[in-house]
Structure 1
């Protein structure tokens, strides 16, 4: 499998942990990860803070990736839904901690989430 990042000079420079487009070539396994929220494994409780929920979600994402014998470096696309724009900086910092220098395609959307207690939701696509 070959992953090619497309960041043309004619488009604005990529943000942190971001590629404008990620192309996957060759024989690959694709993993489409549904929206993850901050519930703990008991499916009842979740951290109240944005940071707590974000950490829980990235940990859940890692667990799902490992179940498919993949890791954060196999992510080709990540979409984050924030409940409010004030979470932007914390979201960026936490994402950078988990992705390091890996740069999948990214989208961040501010929207009303299904449950008012949710501060964010994250969905992703991984390939290997």
Structure 2
């Protein structure tokens, strides 16, 4: 089994973890680390949850691309929000970023 740690230049460098890990064995799996609304330079994408959600999803897309995958290859996507944030703004960002996504309704 071959394990490859991926840290593309298009994502902020983390001293704590790899942005994605590709595992090649009998099949191929790609695990993407938790992403947040930071730009590659480490600054936040904006003050509102919509902008930060859009950036976090762009970061996921960049990690997928680094592993040779895309949204069509995603089996599960989990989005965590701090209590009190605007769910609709995050859902709107997700529907824009992820083709064909139908988010769950609260």
Give yes or no for the alignment of 1:69 onto 2:68.
yes
The alignment covers a number of residue pairs equal to: 79
Alignment of 1:24-63 (within 5 A): 28-43=27-42, 45-46=43-44, 47-63=46-62
8 Å contact kept, 1:79–1:107 = no
Deviation of 1:85 after TM superposition, in Å, equals 4.4
Structure 2 gap ranges (5+): 1-25
Per-residue CA distance 1:5-46 (angstroms, 9 max, x = gap) = xxxxxxxxxxxxxxxxxxxxxx63111111111111112x10
Q: Distance in 2 between matches of 1:86 and 1:102?
A: 20
Q: Distance in 2 between matches of 1:83 and 1:107?
A: 17
Runs of 4+ in 1 over 2 A off after TM superposition: none
Alignment of 1:79-118 (within 5 A): 79-102=78-101
Q: Distance in 2 between matches of 1:49 and 1:28?
A: 40
Secondary structure of the corresponding residue to residue 51 of structure 1: helix
Structure 1 gap ranges (5+): 1-26, 109-128
Supply the RMSD in Å over aligned alpha carbons: 2.3
CA shift in 2, pair 1:30/1:107, >3 Å: farther
Normalising by structure 1, we get a TM-score of 0.54
Q: Distance in 2 between matches of 1:107 and 1:32?
A: 22
1 or 2, which has the higher strand percentage?
Answer: 1
Q: Distance in 2 between matches of 1:66 and 1:56?
A: 15
Structure of greater relative contact order (alpha carbons < 8 Å, 6+ residues apart): 1
Deviation of 1:84 after TM superposition, in Å, equals 2.5
